[in-house]
């Protein structure tokens, strides 16, 4: 199952087994909240089936979808790299979804004892966060340009 998630592509079988032992399968119905903006981050989620919408509530506008993630993608990784920071967005099942939850404390403990795995995962998190920041910057630029007309 983990091999279908981009975060784990190319990891050693030993690492995949260790990570798999930590995962908890969870299911959500369409429209059900996975977590909310401001909730305490307690782990990351891997999408096996379905789709999850990442969004924020904007005053006077309503829900603004930031992304719709599909099988093989993951979200909630900021909770792994940040200490005690609240969730920065809502995660809502966009359709019936089957996810794997990787608890923050368990993954951090594994990364502490397996430095090679920690190195691999942290670099992958950095690349993902960088890509998402670039997309946010592009979206912000488009909003700024469109508001001038």
pLDDT tens across 35-91, in order?
Answer: 999 999 999 999 999 999 999 888 777 788 888 999 999 999 888 888 888 999 999
Q: What is the pLDDT of residue 54?
A: 95
Q: Is the pLDDT of residue 148 over 70?
A: no
Strand partners, 69: 52
Q: What is the pLDDT of residue 59?
A: 79
pLDDT tens across 12-35, in order?
Answer: 999 999 999 999 999 999 999 999
pLDDT tens across 108-132, in order?
Answer: 999 999 999 999 998 888 888 888 7
Q: How far apart are CA 52 and CA 75, in angstroms?
A: 9
pTM check: above 0.85: no
Chain center to CA of 93: 13
CATH fit for domain 2-147, picks 2.130.10.10, 2.60.40.420, 2.60.120.10, 3.40.50.880 = 2.60.120.10
Which has the higher per-residue pLDDT, 7 or 31?
31
Tell me the domain boundaries of the chain.
2-147
For 80, residues 6+ apart whose C-beta sits below 8 A from its C-beta are 41, 43, 44, 104, 107, 108, 121, 125
**pLDDT, the chain, mean:** 89
Q: Tell which residue, 40, 45, 3, 38, has the closest CA to residue 22.
A: 45
Buried/exposed code over 49-76 (b: 16+ C-beta within 10 A; e: otherwise):
ebbbbbbeeeeeeeeeebbebebebbbb
Radius of gyration of the CA atoms of the chain, in A: 16
Neighbours of 33 (CB within 10 A): 11
Q: Is the pLDDT of residue 143 over 70?
A: no
Q: Tell which residue, 74, 104, 58, has the closest CA to residue 8.
A: 74
Up-side HSE of residue 106: CA atoms within 13 Å toward CB? 13
Which has the higher per-residue pLDDT, 43 or 137?
43
Q: Is the pLDDT of residue 137 over 80?
A: no
CA distances from 131 to 29, 71, 97, 136 (A): 28, 18, 24, 9
């Amino acid at each position: 199952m983990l091999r279908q998630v981009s975060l784990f592509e190319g990891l050693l079988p030993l690492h995949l087994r260790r990570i798999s032992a930590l995962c908890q399968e969870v299911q959500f119905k369409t429209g059900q909240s996975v977590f909310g903006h401001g909730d305490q981050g307690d782990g990351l989620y891997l999408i096996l089936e379905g789709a999850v919408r990442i969004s924020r509530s904007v005053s006077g506008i309503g829900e603004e979808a930031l992304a719709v993630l599909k099988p093989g993608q993951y979200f909630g990784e900021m909770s792994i790299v940040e200490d005690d920071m609240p969730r920065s967005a809502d995660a809502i099942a966009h359709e019936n979804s089957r996810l794997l939850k990787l608890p923050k404390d368990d993954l951090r403990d594994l990364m502490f004892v397996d430095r090679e795995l920690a190195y691999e995962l942290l670099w992958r998190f950095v690349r993902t966060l960088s890509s998402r920041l670039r997309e946010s910057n592009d979206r912000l630029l488009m909003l700024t340009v469109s508001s001038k007309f």
